[in-house]
Amino acid sequence: MKNQTQTSTLNACYKPSFYNIVTAHPDEGKVILYNSLTGTRINVSDSVVDKPLSNWLQNSAEPEPEIKESLLSQLKKLGFIIDKDRQEQTYIKKWQDNVNYDDKARSVTVVLTRKCNLGCHYCFQDKEQDDAEVNQRKVLDYIRSQAIPGGSLTVTWFGGEPTLKMKMIHEFSAEIQRYCQENNVRYIGAITTNGVRLGSEKVKQLIQDKVMQYQISLDGPDFIQEQRRPALNGSTTYEQILENIRLLISHKANIIIKVIIDTKNWQHVEQMFADLDAKKILPHVRFAIQETESKFSSANYGCRFASLAEFARVKLYLLSKLASYGYPLSEPGKKATFCEATSPYATTIDMEGNLFRCSTEQENLVARLDDDNNQVWLNKEYQELFFTPELGTHEGCNSCKVLPICGGGCTIAAKNMANRQTCSFYKPGIGDYLRMLAGKPIDKPEITPVVIEQVALG
């Protein structure tokens, strides 16, 4: 017989968290109970979280279940059941504001050049555009203006290919670090590079300049890399990049390998993982598996996946292959912003003092520094498109259970101003990702492969 006293108490005082997700565990007789707001993930018997309780935990409109006081207490403690009056989206907004509007945590991406030694087929940068006139003092003054006493400053050297401007990196780094030390600012140096031109001397200089974070692009094994990201001088680059990654590993640098996947290369990426494992590189790097960040320059790039769900299936499969080598998969974590472009304290500046939002195409130019280093707005309306007043302003966000871990989605994609997906791969893929964390491999997706000829290299 149903416990009426307990039911009445449950109704009057509590409700399930909106962000609960219950999915089957790979082991029979278990379920995975996950909350995207707290990040709590537990494995429980399906006799404990039975069908009525599972349904109610995911939708308070479902008939309420019988639940023992001891289990109720545990689920409350873990955040799966909350006080009836608690407004979770209000909490998310407050948390987001605390992160996004901490004006002491600043980030500046410095576009040193638009020139590059590679001719990547999908590149979204305006590489045909001449380099801006160099105004080193103006740019340096701007960077220093972003160093807030008691805070942190991340400077990312960017291009084009930033290693074409090593002297400038060295000169800037010395002055910025000196200023940060004098003003009690924690300095973080980073670089986004194709990795080809590094070499022993450049790596040594960058490490001395406190550049310890590296993002390097690899899109597959040697024949894929050479076809998708060819050197302009016709040389092969894959093995050189791997050797340079080894150099960085020896200096204990933090390395992210960015892998751009599409319908042409995804089925070959696992071959690259095997190669990196054989060369003892895999345990020392992290991976960012993405679609291209196309908006304008590469708008005619026609190899994207047909849907977010298709991209998610491929990404999950590749993550599963990484896990098979012992690569540690991360727990999904709360995100206050979808990417740096949606953070008001992250900016991009070129060497002429032009300020950009998202990337350095002309359409992203939002402001310019005048001769007195004052910010003159050129397209403030476009700038403001990136800053939503709260998480969940895109259509469907408020009814999405992965909102806390996606950061609210790409604002300009949601406004049909970018040829890419609005949402995170977690939206269609969270169930499979949770099962993968619990040890279930992901089957290879049924997506028609594009045959790429393996040409002789050398």
| DSSP state letters, 394-431 | STTGGG-TTHHHHTT--HHHHTT-SSS-SS-THHHHHH
* Predicted local confidence at residue 450, as pLDDT: 64
- Rounded-to-integer distance, Cα 217 and Cα 198, Å: 13
Task: Give me the sign of the Cα torsion angle 398, 402, 404, 407.
Answer: negative
Query: Of the spans 101-110, 221-230, 357-366, 399-408, which averages the highest pLDDT?
Result: 221-230
Answer yes or no: is pLDDT of 153 > 80: yes
Mean pLDDT of 44-62: 94
Please, what's the b/e burial string for 378-391 (b: 16 or more CB within 10 A of its CB; e: otherwise)?
eeeebbebbebeeb
Looking at residues 27-48, what average pLDDT do you find? 96
Q: What is the pLDDT of residue 2?
A: 45
Predicted local confidence at residue 123, as pLDDT: 78
pLDDT for 5 equals: 41
- Asked whether 318 and 311 are in contact (CB, 8 A), the reply is no
Q: Which long-range contacts (CB under 8 A, 24 or more apart) does 78-81 make?
A: 78/35, 78/38, 78/40, 78/42, 79/17, 79/35, 79/37, 79/38, 79/40, 80/16, 80/17, 80/20, 80/33, 80/35, 80/40, 81/14, 81/15, 81/16, 81/17, 81/57
- Percent of the chain clearing pLDDT 90 (strictly above): 66
**More reliable by pLDDT, 120 or 281:** 281
Query: Among 11-20, 70-79, 182-191, where is mean pLDDT lowest?
Result: 11-20
Query: DSSP secondary-structure letter at 318?
Result: H
Minimum mean pLDDT range among 22-31, 211-220, 242-251, 387-396: 387-396
- Residue 9 confidence (pLDDT) above 70: no
Q: Rounded to whole angstroms, how far apart are CA atoms 291 and 258? A: 10
Report the chain's terminal Cα–Cα distance, integer Å.
77
Distance (Å, rounded) from C-alpha 408 to C-alpha 366?
22
Mean pLDDT of 436-457: 78
pLDDT the model gives residue 74: 95
Does residue 409 have a cis peptide bond before it, meaning omega lies within 30 degrees of 0?
A: no
- Residue 141 burial (CB count, 10 A): 14
Alpha helices in 126-165 (DSSP H): 136-145
Q: Confidence band (pLDDT; 50, 70, 90) for 1?
A: very low
Q: Is the pLDDT of residue 100 over 80?
A: no
Look at residue 8 and tell me whether its pLDDT is greater than 60: no
pLDDT digits (tens, 9 = 90+) for 219-253: 999 999 999 999 999 999 999 999 999 999 999 99
- Can you tell me the mean pLDDT for 57-67? 90
The answer to whether 291 and 421 are in contact (CB under 8 A) is: yes
- Of 150-154, 201-205, 272-276, 399-403, least confident by mean pLDDT is 399-403
Q: Would the pLDDT of 367 be above 50?
A: yes
For the chain, domains (ranges, CATH) are: 4-86 (no CATH), 97-437 (3.20.20.70)
Read off the pLDDT band of 389 (50, 70, 90): low
d(CA 367, CA 160): 20
120 Cβ contact list (under 8 Å, min separation 6): 217, 228, 229, 230
Looking at residue 118, the DSSP 8-state letter turns out to be: B
Strands 20-24 and 30-35, bridge-based pairing: antiparallel
Q: How many CA atoms lie within 13 A of 99 on its CB side?
A: 16
Reported as a pLDDT band with limits 50, 70 and 90, residue 451 is low
Q: Which residues contact 8 (CB under 8 A, 6 or more apart)?
A: none
pLDDT score, position 3: 46
- What are 76's two structure tokens? 């409350």
Q: What is the mean pLDDT of residues 10-21?
A: 89
* pTM of the predicted structure, to 2 decimals: 0.90
Mean pLDDT across 207-224 = 97
- Tell me the per-residue pLDDT of 295-335, one tens digit each, with 9 for 90 and over: 655 556 678 888 899 999 999 999 999 999 999 999 998 88
Residues ≥6 apart with Cβ < 8 Å to 227: 452, 455
The H or E element spanning position 217 is strand 211-217
Per-residue model confidence (pLDDT) at position 454: 60
Provide the token pair at 264: 């042409």
Asked if 394 contacts 375 with a C-beta cutoff of 8 angstroms, the reply is: no
Among 16-20, 312-316, 396-400, 437-441, the minimum mean pLDDT is found in: 396-400
Q: What is the mean pLDDT of residues 400-429?
A: 85
CA distance 450 to 189: 39
